[in-house]
Every structure is written in structure tokens, then in C-alpha cells.
Amino acid sequence: MPSVCFYFEVHQPMRLNRFSVFHIGKNIHPMNYFNQTLNKNIFEKVANKCYLPTNNLLLKLIDQYKGEFKVSFSLTGTFVEYCQQYMPSLIESFQQLFSTGSVDLIEETYFHSLASLYDELDEFEEQVLMHREMIKQLFNYRPMVFRNTEAIYDNRIARKVADMGYKGIITEGTEKILGWKSPNYLYKPINANIKVLLRNYTLSDDIGFRFSAQGWVGFPLTADKYAKWMANTPGDIINLFMDYETFGEHHWPETGIFDFLEHLPEEVFKHENLEFITVSEAVKRYEPVGEIDVPWAISWADEQRDVSTWLGNEMQHACFRELQDIGKKLKEKGDRDLLNIWRKLQTSDHLYYISTKGFEDGAVHQYFSPYDDPYDGFINYMNILQDFKQQLIQ
């Protein structure tokens, strides 16, 4: 019977202050690159609209269904730092969820960065180990499943993650790598001993993107309708991976998103062929049905489902090259405080805001961006990178 695997990404970026060319070289402290007021306000707003009420609802559902309702989370290091600074009770809420035994945790890069795309993977490994240490300290747990930033994946990354000891890795179930095959099974890379869990992007996006779209043919999406769709889906496992902000932030409470989530377990359990499972349980239970070969990077982002979301134009490439160049100089300098700043500047969101894609993808990028347009984001980000670069040689 197909297992339903709910996984949520919990992430908040550290948005930047406005930084003009006239600020470069003025000995501004690098911590002032970040807009603390804006970041605090957005974090607290989303915490109250999404994180806290959804955590409370999940806790209620886990208790109501005696642990048979299960979910998995990845908490980025930047998100956790916000919690520690502004709302420690939110971390306690996740700890309470984890203590039920029905919640699993997933590893990723601490800074939600694109370090896996660097020429060398040393920085990637360091950030993953930082995340591992954070999860150990907060939850006394060692995740066995890895999910790279925005589900970025290729053969090289799969091999590295397998070498680091993980048993499973999460990515997008796109036709680019599957062809005619179904995402509702586990696979293995051609070059590594690790199991690959593939996101069912149609069913995931039915909740994550289309839930409140009144022009969508599936509107309104009710819990019983969705459960029937899953019950009629062939395969071993249905991976439903989405942003946690889906609940209460991307879809506001008045859309009925919380009612949908509250009634979903009841409707799922009406079907004898459905159950909930965590990512670790999936990796333990199921064996790969075949191999996948991914020589170029894919992700769960945008229609193209590749890395053009962050590296799709020359502005993004220029910033990415500067990041790598700064990193090489920083590693030689050995300044831990500046290294931390550089890593915060690596967060993938900074390059996401510089995307010049149009149509639906462009609209989504603009929704999340604090800038008027991508060019404004590029100038601001590049000015900061140039100032930071100058500070390294002082």
C-alpha cells in the first residue's frame, strides 16, 4: 500500500539592508549588511501566522491519531538562529513535536546555500556538518536522510552525501530524470549507494501552489477529494514535499488551509491502502526499483526544475563567482566572524531575488523578493559583496 510521506522545509533568509555604491569602503561593519528590523518583523509575522499554529495543529493530530499521523522537517540554521534570538518557544514547540516519535528530522546545509554547486565540495561538507551539530544539540538526533538546498541534486552531490554516511537523499521527481518512470518509488544513483526519495510534484503543488487558486480545475481542494486522489495513485510511496509556510502564510487561514490539514488524516485513514510514514521509515522499508542518472543539477524550483532559478542569468553568475572568490580569500585569512558573514551571504535567496524569469515563475520570485526588481537586487547584493571583498584585504 502506498505510504504518504509529508515533508516540510522550514527556512527564513537573512535579508539585506540597502547598500549603495557610495557605502563601499566606508568601514561599515559586515553585520550591518543585514536588515535586522525587516528580518525580525517578517519572522515574527510568519511565526504567528504559520509556524506556531501549524505546530499546535500537528501536535493535536499526532495525539488524536495515536502517533499514526507522521511528518518530517528540515530546519535551516538561519531559521533556528531567528528562533533563538526572537522566539525560543518556537524551537521548544518543534522539540515537543519531535518527542512524540511521529516527527522525523532531515539534514541539509546550515545556511541553505548553493555550496553544493561550488567547484570544490569542502564548503558544502562543512555546512552540512554544522547543521548536523545543530540538530544533535537541539534534538539529540542524527538524521539519516539528507535534503540539499531546494532539493538540488546531481550524481556528484549524491556521491558526496552517500560518502558522508546518509542512507537517503531527497530530490524532485521530474520527468527530466525519470522519463516514463514513476516518482512513487525509491531509486538509487548510478554512482552511489544511497536511496533517492522523489517528490511527487503534482500532488505536492496541488497543496503548496494551487490550493487557493479559484481558477484551478481542482478547486476547491477538500481533504476527502485529496485522499481519494492519493488512494488511486500507484506506487510504494507518495512524497509530498513543500514549504512549511504553505499553511497560514502562502495560503491564509480564510482559504481553509488549516481545515484541510486538520481533516486530512481522518480522510486518509478511511482508505485501507494508505498510511503515513517518515522519511527515515521510508528509507528503511523500501528498496530501490531502479537507477537514475543525473549528470546535471536539478531542483524543485520553477517550471524548469534545474538551477536556473539561481544561476539563470549573467548577474547571478557574476555574484556566484564573487562568492567563490571571497571564500578562497577568507579560508586563507582564517577569520571566523567574517567566515560566518560570508556564509550568511551564501543563502540561496539572495540569488533567487536576482532571477529575471517571466510569467508564473517570475511572479513567484517577485512575491518573495524585498526588491522592486531583479536589477535592484543585483546592484544591492553586488555592492555588499564588493565592500566585503575590500574589507578582507585591509
Q: What's the sign of the alpha-carbon dihedral 135, 137, 141, 142? A: positive
What are the two backbone dihedrals, phi and then psi, of residue 105, each rounded to the nearest 5 degrees?
-120, 145
- C-alpha closest to that of 150 among 314, 334, 368: 368
- Interatomic CA distance for residues 171 and 294, integer angstroms: 11
Predicted local distance difference test score (pLDDT) of residue 365: 54
What does the block give as the cell for 386? 564588493
Contact between 126 and 160 under an 8 Å Cβ cutoff? The reply is: no
What does the block give as the cell for 220? 476547491
Return the percent helix, strand and coil in the chain, to nearest 5. 50, 15, 35
Predicted local distance difference test score (pLDDT) of residue 369: 86
Residue whose C-alpha cell reads 516518482 in the numeric block = 183
User: What single letter denotes the amino acid at residue 178?
Assistant: L
Contact between 10 and 73 under an 8 Å Cβ cutoff? The reply is: yes
- Interatomic CA distance for residues 257 and 57, integer angstroms: 12
- Interatomic CA distance for residues 53 and 145, integer angstroms: 26
- C-alpha closest to that of 392 among 320, 342, 351: 342
Residue 193 CA neighbour count, 13 Å, CB half: 3
Predicted local distance difference test score (pLDDT) of residue 155: 98
Distances (CA, A) of 329 to 86, 122, 333: 33, 15, 6
- Strand ranges (DSSP E) for the chain? 3-10, 71-75, 103-105, 145-147, 168-172, 188-189, 195-199, 237-243, 275-276, 291-292
CA 249 to chain centre: 16
Predicted local distance difference test score (pLDDT) of residue 303: 87
What are the two backbone dihedrals, phi and then psi, of residue 334, each rounded to the nearest 5 degrees?
75, 25
Active-site positions read 150
- C-alpha closest to that of 55 among 73, 67, 41: 73
Predicted local distance difference test score (pLDDT) of residue 360: 63
Residue 241 CA neighbour count, 13 Å, CB half: 28
Q: What is the mean pLDDT of each run of 10 residues along the chain (394 residues)?
A: 94 96 91 96 97 98 98 98 98 98 98 96 97 98 98 98 98 95 98 98 97 96 98 97 97 97 98 97 98 97 92 97 93 88 97 82 66 95 96 79
Output the CA angle 334-337-342, nearest 5 degrees: 85
Predicted local distance difference test score (pLDDT) of residue 27: 87
Q: What's the sign of the alpha-carbon dihedral 274, 277, 279, 281? A: negative
What does the block give as the cell for 302? 520553477
- Interatomic CA distance for residues 344 and 167, integer angstroms: 28
Predicted local distance difference test score (pLDDT) of residue 361: 53
- Interatomic CA distance for residues 173 and 393, integer angstroms: 45
Residue whose C-alpha cell reads 538562529 in the numeric block = 81
Predicted local distance difference test score (pLDDT) of residue 392: 86
Residue whose C-alpha cell reads 552525501 in the numeric block = 161
Predicted local distance difference test score (pLDDT) of residue 363: 62
